Structure 1
């Protein structure tokens, strides 16, 4: 089964650490990162799609993807 997540957050070191953590847990980058600007907060926002192949599991909408 292939899992998909889209990580989002302020474009800062904390976001980079979240992506790095996911990569070290077996997730892979999928596509290019997205970058936007939040005019209300004045901060750049970023997003990155990640995917992961897992065996022996069936998808269910209640599963916590971040724990896979």
Structure 2
């Protein structure tokens, strides 16, 4: 099965740590990062898609992606 996640967060070290943790768990960067201003909070937001192949497991809508 191929898994997809879109990691998001404020433009600070916590976002970089989130992406770094995913990469160290075997997730791969997918595409370019995104960067936008959140006018509701007044904070710049980042986003990065990541993907991962998992053998021997079938996809189910209730799967908790962060467990992988």
> TM above 0.5, one fold?
yes
Alignment partner, residue 51 of structure 1: 51
Separation in 2, partners of 1:38, 1:27: 26
Aligned residue-pair number: 68
In the superposition, the TM-score normalised over structure 1's length comes to 0.96
State how far apart, in whole Å, the 1-side matches of 2:26 and 2:41 are. Answer: 33
Long gaps (5+) in structure 1? none
* Unaligned 5+ runs, structure 2: none
- Stretches of 4+ aligned residues off by more than 6 angstroms: none
Q: 1:12-59 CA distances to partner (integer Å, 9 max, x unpaired)?
A: 100100000000000000000000001222210010000001100000
